């Protein structure tokens, strides 16, 4: 028993020594202020945990992490760069984040799934700093990355991109207090920037702080006319918060603000479909398809609406168009086979399932297709039911 205890104490001592070494190394790197040549552009508002929350900025960039936070930090962000107090505060921040650094590095290199759009132009110097910070963050040099963006916020106190990037770095390191402070600084510096309040709402919502999220959304609603490219983000957030009326309003505003956007009509159609109104959904999908005839999603969505309405021939036509646009998509072909089956054309369904098996043999999809074929063949082989006179 004593040997086990001695071994455990030895292991804990080794872990403590390793942690001390890591913190010391980060402090050393911070003191050096290593200059890194930017190797790639970055998206200052790359998507985080909620959908497209931070749309409204330049998209000519790579990616940075996501936001997340809980309450105000007491750390002074107005102190001149290079001061001992600032360095000590940043070192403390890094020490808190070290235990989460491995996970943060994986998240940092992920590309954003939603691209933001903007008419804002990032100042060249800020763009360069953001690229340097992104590279440092991807390399695991979190101290340098944070210091670069903290300095950028001080140098460009009215640039939204600086606040957003800093908040996202904090969040990806699990420093929620610091992240929320950055978002609060952003809304203070730009009180008429609807995107700031929407991003802040997304941060709160991702933390389960729905009351605070609703307060920020209320501020967003007050000034949202200045940020029509944020309606999609707001709609997604309202959906997660269980507010269908507000979601519908946001999607309708998006369609009104972007009448040539097939994505806007598709999103509104999907809302109607989810809420049991396939007729209204069909209308929106048709509009999207007319705006973008080559959009596979538009035709696939039309097929779904037609199927819900029992219009199987129309559903078949739309799925055939989608398959023509995206050949080899066995998921679409499985759906087409299912529509044939539901419409009573069992032979066409069998042929379509067989085509799937040929394209993806020895897969789970092929197994499902084989099972469907067996069932349909049994139906075809069964004697017809007698009609009672």
State the Cα–Cα distance between residues 59 and 41, nearest whole angstrom.
Answer: 9
Average pLDDT over residues 131-150: 94
Of 65-69, 134-138, 184-188, which has the strongest mean pLDDT? 134-138
The pTM score is: 0.57
pLDDT for the residue 201: 85
The rounded mean pLDDT for the chain is 76
Give the span between the Cα atoms of 362 and 360, in whole angstroms.
7
Q: How many residues does the chain have?
A: 389
**Residue 16 pLDDT greater than 80, yes or no:** no
Comparing 241 with 282, which gets the higher pLDDT?
282
Domain 259-326 part of CATH 1.25.40.10: yes
More confident residue, 52 or 316: 316
Q: In the prediction, which pLDDT does 119 show?
A: 34
Answer whether residue 67 shows pLDDT above 60.
no
Q: Say if CB 90 and CB 30 are below 8 A apart.
A: yes
Structure tokens that stand for 122 in this block: 């990032």
Please give the full DSSP string across 209-225, using - where no structure is assigned: -HHHHHHHHHHHHHHGG
| C-alpha separations of 297 from 122, 170, 256, 361 in Å | 33, 36, 21, 26
Residue at token pair 């973008």: 292
Comparison of pLDDT for 109 and 208, the residue scoring more: 208
**82: region left, alpha or beta (phi > 0 left; psi from -120 to 50 alpha):** left
User: Is pLDDT larger for residue 230 or for residue 35?
Assistant: 230
pLDDT for residue 83: 38
Q: Where are the domains of the chain?
A: 27-190, 259-326, 328-381
Question: Over 50: is that where the pLDDT of 111 sits?
Answer: no
Would you say residue 131 has pLDDT above 90?
yes
CA 389 to chain centre: 61
Which two three-digit tokens encode residue 102?
């491995």
SS3 323: helix
Q: What is the torsional sign of CA 354, 358, 360, 363?
A: positive
The span from the first CA to the last CA of the chain, in angstroms, equals 88
pLDDT in tens, 287-309: 999 999 999 999 999 999 999 99
As a 3-state breakdown, the chain gives helix, strand, coil percent values, each rounded to 5, of 70, 0, 30
C-alpha–C-alpha distance, residues 246 and 218, integer Å? 11
pLDDT tens digits along 339-359: 999 999 999 999 999 999 999
Which range is least confidently modeled, 117-131, 132-146, 257-271? 117-131
**Residue 246 in this model has a pLDDT that exceeds 50:** yes
- pLDDT confidence tier of residue 12, bands split at 50, 70 and 90: low
78-99 pLDDT per residue, tens: 333 333 444 444 444 444 444 4
The two most distant CA atoms of the chain are separated, in Å, by 98
Question: Which residue, chain included where needed, has tokens 């129309």?
Answer: 314
Please check the confidence at residue 373 and state whether its pLDDT lies above 90: yes
Does domain 328-381 correspond to CATH entry 1.25.40? Answer: yes
The answer to whether domain 259-326 and domain 328-381 are alike in fold is yes
pLDDT at 281 over 80: yes
In this model, does residue 361 exceed pLDDT 60? yes
Helix (H) or strand (E) holding 262: helix 262-274
Q: Between residues 207 and 284, which one has the greater pLDDT?
A: 284
């Amino acid at each position: 028993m004593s040997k086990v205890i001695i071994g455990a104490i030895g292991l804990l001592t080794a872990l403590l020594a390793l942690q001390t070494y890591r913190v010391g190394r980060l402090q050393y790197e911070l003191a050096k202020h290593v200059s890194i040549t930017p190797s790639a552009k970055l998206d200052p508002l790359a998507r985080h945990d909620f959908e497209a929350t931070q749309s409204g900025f330049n998209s000519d960039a790579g990616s940075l992490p996501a936001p997340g936070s809980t309450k105000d930090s007491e750390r002074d962000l107005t102190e001149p760069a290079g001061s001992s107090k600032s360095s000590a505060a940043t070192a403390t921040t890094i020490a808190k984040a070290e235990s989460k650094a491995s996970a943060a590095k994986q998240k940092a290199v992920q590309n954003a799934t939603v691209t933001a759009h903007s008419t804002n132009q990032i100042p060249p110097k800020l763009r360069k700093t953001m690229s340097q910070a992104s590279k440092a963050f991807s390399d695991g040099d979190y101290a340098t990355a944070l210091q670069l963006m903290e300095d950028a916020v001080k140098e460009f106190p009215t640039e939204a991109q600086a606040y957003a990037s800093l908040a996202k770095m904090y969040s990806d390191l699990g420093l929620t207090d610091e992240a929320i402070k950055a978002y609060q600084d952003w809304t203070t510096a730009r009180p008429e920037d609807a995107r700031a309040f929407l991003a802040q709402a997304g941060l709160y919502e991702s933390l389960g702080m729905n009351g605070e999220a609703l307060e920020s959304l209320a501020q967003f609603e007050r000034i949202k006319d200045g940020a029509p490219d944020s309606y999609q983000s707001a709609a997604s957030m309202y959906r997660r918060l269980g507010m269908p009326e507000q979601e519908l309003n946001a999607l309708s505003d998006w369609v009104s603000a972007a009448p040539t956007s097939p994505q806007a009509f598709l999103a509104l159609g999907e809302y109607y479909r989810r809420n049991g109104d396939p007729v209204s959904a069909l209308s929106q999908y048709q509009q999207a398809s007319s705006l973008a005839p080559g959009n596979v999603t538009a035709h696939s969505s039309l097929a779904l609406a037609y199927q819900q309405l029992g219009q199987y021939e129309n559903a078949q036509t739309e799925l055939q168009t989608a398959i023509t646009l995206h050949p080899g998509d066995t998921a679409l072909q499985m759906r087409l086979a299912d529509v044939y089956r539901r419409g009573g054309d069992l032979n066409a369904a069998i042929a379509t399932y067989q085509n799937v098996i040929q394209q993806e043999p020895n897969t789970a999809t092929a197994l499902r297709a084989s099972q469907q074929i067996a069932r349909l063949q049994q139906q075809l082989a069964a004697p017809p039911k007698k009609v009672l006179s």
